[in-house]
Amino acid sequence: MRDTRVELKNPITAAVLAFLIPGAGHWYQGRRFKATIYSVCILTLFVWGMILGNWQPVYSQLVYRTRAESAQMEKATPPTRFSFGYAAQFFSGLPALPALVQEARFRNEEANLNILETEILSDFSGIVREQTESGESAKTVSGQMILSPVNAAGSRDVTGTLTVAADDGTTIEYGLGGYVELGRQIFGSPRREIRCGIISKNGAELATEGSVQGTVARSFLNWFQAPRDSHEMDRLHGDLSRKFDIASVFTWIAGLLNLLAIWDAADGPAYGYGDEKSKPDDDDDEEEESPKKT
């Protein structure tokens, strides 16, 4: 019978600790050197992958087949499919578990896309459309948006401003008001879609209709490891190119390495004392081969 001569203590407890934090199970068993190696190597690999991928390689669900223009603007919970890469990332433990929390929040969210609940103070990037007598004009802009609900508890009616820089270097300020449309609060993109009406320009009331459509910043807690759609994946691949694929692979490897660490914490080393192959006794063989003297 194999004798590992390693005190595994409670193997179940060790395995759970090893899953939650790489190396913690071995530290619990007193295997400090191995714990340090596992912890440093696995966590470094996982964190480096997250940094390369702009903290977005880990997600458990991919949204698809929405009836709206984008999944962010879908009122009902859109259908999703499991990300097979997360099957490996999951074994990284606590660093990958927020994906499951965000998935639950995403599924349980009541998407009030036409109600602004809190003030928005964010950079804006998108399109300004103005309807004039000669037709519609549209231009791409970036600037600063301030938008507030008319009622403190949240409202369909909003008020605010959008300040952008014109081509000639001057500043244009649009007064915002009327309706508002917002992307889902919980979504795996740092940018939240928004649409709003324009009611004035540089302090003068508009005699024509106008609107803005673009994106504002989303809270880190609402996009980190949350489900995302193919549009967001296309944006990531466009911005990061091969870096995003490399980042994903790093997080996969980290999870699979920790799976081996969990096994080692629960069952001990693969080879221990007592597994050595027995060697034949050379002296006995020589005695048997040598002729007996008479």
Tell me 121's DSSP state: E
Lowest mean pLDDT among 105-109, 149-153, 273-277: 273-277
Tell me 87's DSSP state: H
Type of residue found at 82:
F
* Cα 80 from Cα 70, distance rounded (Å): 13
Tell me the pLDDT tens digit for each residue of 250-259: 999 999 999 9
8 Å CB contact between 44 and 25: no
Residue partners of 252: CB distance under 8 A and separation at least 6:
85, 88, 89
Lowest mean pLDDT among 93-97, 123-127, 167-171, 175-179: 167-171
Spell out a b/e string for 117-139, using b for 16 or more CB atoms within 10 Å of the CB, else e. eeebebebbbebebeeeeeeeee
Supply the DSSP string of 217-257, one letter for each residue: E--HHHHTT--EEHHHHHHHHHHHTHHHHHHHHHHHHHHHH
pTM score: 0.84
Predicted local distance difference test score (pLDDT) of residue 294: 47
Choice between 56 and 292, residue whose per-residue pLDDT is larger: 56
Looking only at the bridges linking them, the beta strands covering 61-63 and 80-82 are antiparallel
Tell me the pLDDT tens digit for each residue of 105-141: 999 988 888 889 889 999 999 999 987 667 778 889 9
Give domain limits for the chain.
1-111+227-269, 120-222
* Cα 258 from Cα 27, distance rounded (Å): 14
